Amino acid sequence: MKIVFSLMLLALVCGCSLQPERPFTKDELYKTNIYTYFTINDSPESVLAAINKEGEVILDARYRNRPIWIKILGKREGLTVNIIEQ
């Protein structure tokens, strides 16, 4: 029973995002160039607040009139950006 509980707890922890160790700044967000190449309705402040609270954010954006999702992960080495077509 302990093993089952431990595995469930491990799956829960690994499947969820965690708050970053240090808060990210606007400069780090702007270095990703997402506001240069994509049309994003969310403000940089709200994106940073979500990343610093949850560790990740998924944005609804547009690239040349095509809908896309942008997933930003806050990692120790910096922000990681993944682009996903809808």
pLDDT at 10: 47
At CA 83, angle to CA 14 and CA 86, rounded to 5?
Answer: 100
* Domain count across the chain: 1
Global pTM reads 0.76
- Could you report the per-residue pLDDT of 52-64, keeping only the tens digit for each? 999 999 999 999 9
Is 80 within a domain? yes
d(CA 66, CA 32): 20
57 within 8 A of 72, measured Cβ to Cβ: yes
pLDDT tens digits along 1-58: 555 545 454 444 455 567 777 899 999 999 999 999 999 999 999 999 999 999 999 9
Give the model's pLDDT for residue 21: 78
With cut-offs at 50, 70 and 90, classify the pLDDT of residue 86: confident
Side-chain half-sphere exposure of 80, counting CA atoms within 13 A:
9
Q: Is residue 9 part of a domain?
A: no
> Which domain, by its residues, includes 75?
17-85
